[in-house]
Amino acid sequence: MKSLKENFQKKHIIIIGSGIIGKFNALELSELGFQITIIDPAQHKNSSNAALGLLMGNMYQKRKGRSWDLRKQSIELWPKWIKFLQKFNYELKIEKPLIQLTTNEAKFKKLEKFIYENQDQNLRILETDSLFIKNINKAFQTKNIKGMISFKDGRINAKSLLKTLDTYLKNKKINFLEEEIIKIRKSNNQWISITRKNEGIKSDIVIVCNSLKAVDLIDHLSHNIKLIPVLGQAIEVDINDAEVNLLSLPKQFNIDGKNIIPKSKNKLIIGSTDEYSTNPEENIFEKLTDFLDKKPSWLTKDKISKKWFGIRSRPDGNPSPIMKNLENGLIICTGFYKNGILLAPACSKWVANEIKNYFS
């Protein structure tokens, strides 16, 4: 009897969309032996390239349900994938820990309750006298910040991760087509993906990972799938100021929902917003620094050295993400308006299991 891998080698899978979700699916399925083609007309201009890469898994406060299950699986899978991907980029790593802070007493009480009830050694309360908080207070001139530290959560540099996946995919000689798919249809037992140039590409399976545009390719009405755009913005400030050393701050932390990543002594990233729009707004500095009553003198609008945004898709009327086996050999994996980087390993595993079941 032929091995499963030999059987899979004859099966061709098309992945539409080459953000983190498309690329991670390609990695998982290529390791199982499938022939893969990824199709994307603009792989560097997507929301994955805008992501800050925070992996907020273990600090998620709901400890049951689908969302928690996906997070839990991803937390377990990430170390294995990092080890594997280090063969292609030895510098790839998850920077730990991750700190979540708030200026709101009621939110802090909730965090305390969560930590007390879970008795997880990897989660601890950070009181105002901890060194991390003291350094944050010194730099931001804040007083009332408190929160928690998660030793199991952290950050992966999203751009470096995408580049490493590209190196892997190239090394494995995975086909990549710089095309836009405008239609998919079934013909006998095969799927035909039609490009804008009106070329048809055949495959046994199609995985739709093209975020917002997924609804253009499937019968979204009968599958009850509606996606809405959510804009996320981030800024980099270059302070060029001896007043504060940004490297005295934790490597990554979050205050009242704003993620902060010191890059060097003088550079800091702050992100990101959740806006139900597709056009970046001008008052981004005010939005991203609204956790501060009074801004320290080094943090001013004119210090912004870079700003960027990404548009993600949020399912309307369904929980995020959308992972469905729509019909024989047509799978959708989209609607990652948040946490797409974190959830990529668990979601790719779900897709792989669906495909394995389909062929067995």
Instruction: Give the chain's radius of gyration (CA, Å).
Output: 22
The label of the residue with tokens 């009332």 reads 144
The label of the residue with tokens 């908080």 reads 133
The set of residues, in sequence order, having a beta carbon less than 8 Å from that of 82 and lying 6+ positions away, is 92, 93, 94, 156
A 10 A CB-CB count for 19 gives 26
The least distance separating ligand FAD from the CB of residue 155, rounded to whole angstroms, comes to 7
Counting contacts by CB under 6 A, is residue 329 touching ligand FAD? Answer: no
Please identify, among the stretches 1-9, 35-43, 97-105, 282-290, the one whose residues bind ligand FAD according to the rule CB under 6 A.
35-43
**Which of 105, 178 has the CB closer to ligand FAD?**
178
Question: Which helix (H) or strand (E) is 230 found in, with range?
Answer: strand 227-238
Closest by CA to 96, choosing from 206, 222, 220, 253, is 253
Counting contacts by CB under 6 A, is residue 97 touching ligand FAD? Answer: no
Given a contact cutoff of 8 angstroms between Cβ atoms, the answer to whether 308 and 269 are in contact is no
Give me the phi and psi of 119, to 5 degrees please: 45, 45
The least distance separating ligand FAD from the CB of residue 43, rounded to whole angstroms, comes to 5
E strands, 3-46, where? 12-16, 35-39
Counting contacts by CB under 6 A, is residue 152 touching ligand FAD? Answer: no
Q: Which of 8, 13, 17, 267 binds ligand FAD (CB under 6 A)?
A: 17
- The DSSP secondary structure of 293-323, one letter per residue, reads SS--TT--GGGEEEEEEEEEEEESSS-SSEE
Q: Which of 15, 39, 59, 149 binds ligand FAD (CB under 6 A)?
A: 39
Counting contacts by CB under 6 A, is residue 53 touching ligand FAD? Answer: yes
Residues 56-95 within binding reach of ligand FAD (CB under 6 A)? none
Counting contacts by CB under 6 A, is residue 348 touching ligand FAD? Answer: no
Residues 258-317 within binding reach of ligand FAD (CB under 6 A)? 271-272, 310, 312
Strand partners, 102: 146
Counting contacts by CB under 6 A, is residue 51 touching ligand FAD? Answer: yes
Question: In three state form, how does the secondary structure of 259-279 look?
Answer: EEEECCCCEEEEECCCECCCC
Amino acid 341 reads: I
Q: Which of 37, 210, 254, 348 binds ligand FAD (CB under 6 A)?
A: 210
Counting contacts by CB under 6 A, is residue 234 touching ligand FAD? Answer: yes
Given a contact cutoff of 8 angstroms between Cβ atoms, the answer to whether 241 and 342 are in contact is no
The least distance separating ligand FAD from the CB of residue 30, rounded to whole angstroms, comes to 17
Q: Which of 14, 27, 36, 54 binds ligand FAD (CB under 6 A)?
A: 54
Q: Which of 115, 136, 181, 237 binds ligand FAD (CB under 6 A)?
A: 181
E strands, 12-92, where? 12-16, 35-39, 54-55
**Which of 5, 45 has the CB closer to ligand FAD?**
45
Counting contacts by CB under 6 A, is residue 50 touching ligand FAD? Answer: yes
Burial of 116 (0-12, 13-18, 19+ CB in 10 A): exposed
**Which of 20, 237 has the CB closer to ligand FAD?**
20
Counting contacts by CB under 6 A, is residue 184 touching ligand FAD? Answer: no
The least distance separating ligand FAD from the CB of residue 294, rounded to whole angstroms, comes to 26
Counting contacts by CB under 6 A, is residue 48 touching ligand FAD? Answer: yes
Counting contacts by CB under 6 A, is residue 339 touching ligand FAD? Answer: yes
The least distance separating ligand FAD from the CB of residue 12, rounded to whole angstroms, comes to 17
For ligand FAD, the binding residues (CB under 6 A) are 16-22, 39-43, 46-48, 50-54, 180-181, 209-211, 213, 232-234, 271-272, 310, 312, 334, 336, 338-342
